Copies of this chain bind each other. A is one copy, B any other.
């Protein structure tokens, strides 16, 4: 299977509006350094899944008929914003699998349009979409949020954003799996005070060490982590690297 990082940024994105720090200045000069709303696309010869839907141009990236299902980690706006215009499309219902969040985002439940939000995922209750075997993973975040452990044939990915740390039950589950690729929230550089709602780099690396995937991508990255990584070029172990928008990984 092939994973494409569509967006690797936090809710502010990079560049941050009005910010002139080195990371934001670089992203404004060279769009290769931009970080858009955190999301990814997973595809095989026969199946595909969109992981989160915060990008504004999903209609151009995924013309009608090309999206099999959408997996939402949670209903924060940076993860669902792209659905608001698309929902008024002309299309068969597109299944959206999401955590059991009573409110959703704004009026998405009230006016779902072409999206079917009735598929609620529960932590550790496996589900199947085409050839994908998916286990929702419990996370710690400021509203109901799920990570996903996805298997296709022999290959597997753990996609874990947005989270601050990882519940013990999730660590135990994931440590017992073979994981080819971990994609993990690393929103901030190492903090002196405990991070809230999102991993700092230390927490992300601790999860990497606990879970022992073959390789790890950092995502949901904010401008301050970009600056930190510029200043600390040896901060990451060899099997960990920051994601970037458009990065494709074959597994």
Binding site for B on A (CB under 8 A): 11-13, 15-20, 37, 56-57, 59, 63-65, 77-78, 81, 84-86, 88-91, 105-107, 114
Taking the nearest CB of chain B, how far is it from the CB of A205, in angstroms?
25
Contact partners of A20 in chain B: CB under 8 A: 90
Q: Given A17-B64, A59-B17, A106-B105, are A85 and B90 also a contact pair (CB < 8 Å)?
A: no
Q: Is the interface of A mostly helix, strand, loop or mixed?
A: loop
Known: A17-B64, A56-B81. 12 other contacts (CB 8 A): A11-B85, A11-B88, A12-B88, A13-B85, A17-B86, A17-B89, A17-B91, A17-B114, A18-B65, A18-B114, A77-B84, A78-B85
Contact partners of A114 in chain B: CB under 8 A: 17-18
Taking the nearest CB of chain B, how far is it from the CB of A113, in angstroms?
9
Contact partners of A84 in chain B: CB under 8 A: 11, 77-78, 81
Partner of A90, one of B11, B16, B57, B88: B16
Copy number in this complex? Answer: 2
Taking the nearest CB of chain B, how far is it from the CB of A187, in angstroms?
12
Expressed in whole angstroms, the Cα–Cα distance for A59 and B37 within the complex equals 14
Query: Is there an interface contact between A17 and B65, defined as CB atoms closer than 8 Å?
Result: no
Expressed in whole angstroms, the Cα–Cα distance for A210 and B114 within the complex equals 38
Contact partners of A81 in chain B: CB under 8 A: 56, 81, 84
Contact partners of A65 in chain B: CB under 8 A: 18
Taking the nearest CB of chain B, how far is it from the CB of A168, in angstroms?
29
Q: Given A17-B59, A18-B114, are A77 and B89 also a contact pair (CB < 8 Å)?
A: no
Subset of 17 A-B contacts with CB under 8 Å = A12-B85, A15-B59, A16-B88, A17-B64, A17-B88, A17-B89, A17-B90, A18-B64, A18-B65, A18-B90, A18-B114, A77-B84, A77-B106, A77-B107, A78-B84, A105-B106, A106-B106
